[in-house]
Structure 1
Amino acid sequence: MTDTASDGERADRSAPPPPASLRLTVDRDALAANWRALDARSGSARAGAAVKADAYGLGAATCVPVLRDAGCETFFVAHWSEVAAVIAHVPPQQVAVLHGVRNEAECAYARAVGAVPVINSLEQAALWAATGGGTCHLMVDTGINRLGIAASEANEAAISALDIDILMSHLASADEADSALNPRQLTAFQSVLGAIRHRRASLANSAGIALGEDYAFDLTRPGLALYGGAPRPELAAAIRPVAQVQAAILQTRALAAGESVGYNATFTAPAPMRVATVSMGYADGFLRSRGPGNAFSHNGRRLPILGKVSMDMVVIDCTAAPDLAAGNWIDVPWNIADAAQQSGLSPYEMLTVIGGRLRRD
């Protein structure tokens, strides 16, 4: 009998994929140490953890268990779609959803899984009560003008009816030590504490922790500093880098003088040189804006980027490392505490734009 099965039918779809040419390594010990340092810096308050945006791009499945085991008991996400990945590792009542509840479906989901909404408006407060009520958190806007009820709404009946665990606000300029907005927001927050029944109060984010104990209240909400960023110089000595990104060389080649590299030929070789094409691009979070003047490295040797960053590839100058070959791993600059590496991106962006093709060790 003739075998008429197609190649697709003969394929073993259960076969594991080969090793990736990209990797993201999360230093779990550094992550745990950062949380403990921020918890200690919070004084009598307890530090929670912002784990929204897939733990700032480093993977909730990787980071949440580390933070839990370090002692964290309160976790913050933005979207309801982020809840499942977090409650796989911690009790759902420890998870707060910052965007609150917009409709009955979100209220039903909150009660079904046990995560706690952060109520942000009188409309959300009324909706939560009308669909059954229960424990919630409440955001009060004190000057950032994003989400939250106005301080003038603190005595509204819809707010008085809520069972509030965490009463919170968000600092707009905590990374600026001399900002007049910080004490104004502190005073505004203090003014509503007596008007709204709650069990815990929370104001300080990562940078807010450095503002001192007046801003700590019962719970702080670090995010960036957990993952290696130091938004205030007072935190820099205590915060360790967490993420390391590496990419494999796909190919090396020799350029003749006058040959160009990449889209729009923005780099032309001034002399014969050896270059390498690396498996990393803007689809992986290494954005085009980070290319000019930047460099990859190998064993401390600087490998300048040549031409434009492509979707899946970057070309580098191997003059300083003539021994490099296809398959070698190259360090991708991702030190979020180093402003020179950012090329116009904030540390938050450098983390959260990390692409899905990077595998987490």
Structure 2
Amino acid sequence: MQSTWTGGAAALLTIDLKALCVNYRAIARQVAPAQAAAVVKADAYGLGADRVAPALAAAGCRNFFVAHLSEAVALRPLLPEDARLFILNGLMPGAEDLCAEAGAIPVLNGLDQARAWVALCKARGQRLPAVLQVDSGMSRLGLAAADIDTLLREIDLERDFDLTLVMSHLACGDEPEHDANPDQLARFEALTARLPRAPRSFANSGGSFLTPAFGFDLVRPGVSLYGVAPHAGLPSPIQPVVRLEARIIQVRSIPAGQGVGYGLTYAPDKPARIATIGVGYADGWPRHLSNRGAAYYGNTRLPIAGRVSMDSMTLDVTALPEGTLTYGDTVELIGPHQPLEAVAADAGTIAYEILTSLGHRYARVWIGE
């Protein structure tokens, strides 16, 4: 099949914004009456926050989570005035003024961040909004029980700033039967009971599809917006969002025993045909897929033959009739025959890493805007 895009790119990444919005609405229906936010950190998981966030806003989303202040500053002009931008990592020292000017809302993950935000509010004479994160058992970010004791002694949470939300994060939300989920839920409820009444947020993508007890007031789906099912192997309303196709640079025939690629780690035991495509680990295609991953042409699996190189990799296309593939034809790397989860499983990683690593040398097309 000849390629359907023009220009010099060796591969095409197609991003379906309609499917993205379908996924958002499916999650919103699942968690109602809680609201659904959207996590658009890391450039919307590598898919282009400048396209993704406005599309989600058009679908009705008004709460967006990023990791860093710089991400919030970049997105603020692209979103409706009533949209809220939350910064999951909170603020680095000295960034409080810039955050306030940007109209972003920091997540206060520890006593130092809380003290700095209160100092800014007092200096400005304003009760600026912020989120408190409590550690319900993940031991990453958030206030532990002892920190809450200190916080309540030092800060008046009803006067010193606007406590917009109290949140925590699930460690095992993608494993619905994991014992940690109800344990974290109980801890979260106990910790938030010690704080002034405020909206609460606990569930991520996986948590959004647990029992309604995890929904609280606001859920924060991330990877499921981008096409990854929240619970592997279970029915899901989530639709694929990305497709990646690569062009053939060259097809060659080799004799039995001829090594292929760096280290000559692939040597077929009979004559074979080898196709080279212009995608490699510099494009986010994991080197760990060497001799174990694949591409597809229609229903035919084309195994990666040898090591993934920086700018290219080789496929064994012997399973196809000779002449089926030639210079300029395309094969599927992510798509209906090989979803993100399958690529991640072959690479020994998770779909998050595959998504966020997809490179910028691909031609990119957004459809469904």
How far is 1:360 from its partner? 2.3
For the pair 1:338 / 2:342, whether they are aligned, the reply is yes
Q: Describe the SS at the equivalent of 1:275.
A: strand
Q: Which residue of 2 aligns with 1:306?
A: 305
Letter in structure 2 aligned against 1:345:
T
2:360 corresponds to which residue?
Answer: 356
Q: What is the aligned partner in structure 2 of residue 13 from structure 1? A: none
CA contact (8 A) 2:228 2:351 kept: yes
> Deviation at 1:340?
7.5
**What SS does the aligned partner of 1:320 have?**
coil
The alpha-carbon distance between structure 1 residues 177 and 341, as it changes in their structure 2 partners (threshold 3 A), is: closer
- TM-superposed deviation, 1:159: 6.0
Distance 2:163 2:52 in 1: 27
1:30 matched to which residue of 2?
Answer: 19
Counterpart among 47, 70, 76 of residue 81 in structure 1: 70
Written as runs of structure 1 = structure 2, the 5 A alignment for 1:155-304 is: 155-158=152-155, 160=157, 161-197=160-196, 199-233=198-232, 236-304=235-303
CA distance in 2, matches of 1:159, 1:101: 20
Backbone CA RMSD of aligned residues: 2.1
CA contact (8 A) 1:59 1:360 kept: no
Distance 1:144 1:278, change over 3 A: same
Distance in 2, matches of 1:159 and 1:120, equals 17
Given candidates 129, 133, 141, the residue that maps to 1:147 is: 141
The amino acid that maps onto 2:23 is: N
Q: Secondary structure at the match of 1:44?
A: coil
Q: What's 1:327 paired with?
A: 328
**Counterpart-to-counterpart distance in 1, 2:19 and 2:66:** 21
Q: How far apart in 2 are the matches of 1:291 and 1:335?
A: 18
| Contact in 2 for aligned 1:125/1:162 (Cα 8 Å) | no
Q: Which residue of 1 aligns with 2:3?
A: none
Displacement after TM superposition at 1:288 (Å): 1.2
Q: 1:327-349, CA deviations, whole angstroms, 9 ceiling, x for partnerless residues?
A: 11211146123377533111111
Q: Please state if 1:138 is matched with 2:132.
A: yes
**Can you give the 5+ residue segments of structure 1 that lack an aligned partner in the other structure?**
1-16
- Determine the structure 2 residue equivalent to 1:20: 9
The answer to whether the Cα contact below 8 Å between 1:167 and 1:198 also exists between their aligned partners in 2 is no
Shift of 1:125: 0.8
Tell me the CA shift for residue 91 of structure 1. 4.0
Q: Which amino acid letter does the alignment assign opposite residue 91 of structure 2? A: V
Partner of 1:101: 91
The corresponding residue for 1:8 is none
1:256 is displaced (CA, Å) by: 2.4
Name the aligned partner's letter for residue 309 of structure 1: V
Q: Distance in 1 between matches of 2:201 and 2:234?
A: 19
3-state SS of paired residue (2:57) = helix
Distance 1:162 1:84, change over 3 A: closer
Q: Is the 8 A contact 2:293 2:343 kept in 1?
A: no
Look up the equivalent residue of 1:204 and give its one-letter code.
A
- Give distance in 2, aligned partners of 1:159 and 1:82: 30
CA distance in 1, matches of 2:212, 2:317: 50
Summarize the Cα distance change of 1:235–1:119 in structure 2 as closer, same or farther, 3 Å threshold: farther
Structure 2: gaps of 5 or more residues: 1-5, 122-126
SS in 2 for 1:58: coil
The Cα shift of 1:235 comes to: 6.1
* Partner AA of 2:347 in structure 1: S
Q: Distance in 2 between matches of 1:18 and 1:64?
A: 27
1:33-88 Cα distance to aligned partner (Å, 9 max, x none) = 11111111112101101111111111212211221111111111111222244224
Could you state the TM-score of these two structures normalised by the residue count of structure 1? Answer: 0.89
| Larger relative contact order, structure 1 or 2 (CA cutoff 8 Å, min sep 6) | 2
Change (3 A) 1:235 1:74: farther
Q: Distance in 2 between matches of 1:190 and 1:127?
A: 26
| Contact 2:307/2:313 (<8 A) preserved | yes
TM-score (norm 2): 0.87
Q: Distance in 1 between matches of 2:294 and 2:179?
A: 39
CA contact (8 A) 1:151 1:188 kept: no
- Secondary structure of the 1:82 match is helix
Farther-moved stretch of structure 1 (60-69 vs 141-150): 60-69
Q: Which amino acid aligns with 2:179?
A: A
> Where does structure 1 differ by over 4 angstroms across 4 or more consecutive aligned residues?
none
Are 2:68 and 2:91, in contact at CA under 8 Å, matched by a contact in 1? no
Q: Secondary structure at the match of 1:204?
A: coil
**Residues of 2 paired with 1:184 and 1:28: CA distance?**
36
Residue 235 to residue 157, structure 1, CA distance change in 2 (3 Å):
farther
